[in-house]
Amino acid sequence: RLSPSTMNPPTTGLSQTKYKNTQQRAFTRQATILRKNLFEWDRMLRSPQVEDWGTTIGRLNAALNQTGNLDRSIDDVLEHFVYVPKKSTANPQDIPFFLSTRLAEAVTDKKGYR
Cα-Cα-Cα-Cα dihedral sign, residues 82, 86, 88, 90: negative
Q: What are the domain boundaries of the chain?
A: 4-80
Q: What is the pLDDT of residue 45?
A: 82
Q: Please provide residue 103's backbone torsions phi and psi, each rounded to the nearest 5 degrees.
A: -100, 125
Q: What is the pLDDT of residue 100?
A: 64
Average pLDDT over residues 36-49: 84
Are 84 and 55 spatial neighbours (Cβ–Cβ below 8 Å)?
A: no
Q: What is the distance of C-alpha 7 from the center of its chain?
A: 16
Q: How far apart are CA 6 and CA 107, in angstroms?
A: 40
pLDDT greater than 70 at residue 57: yes
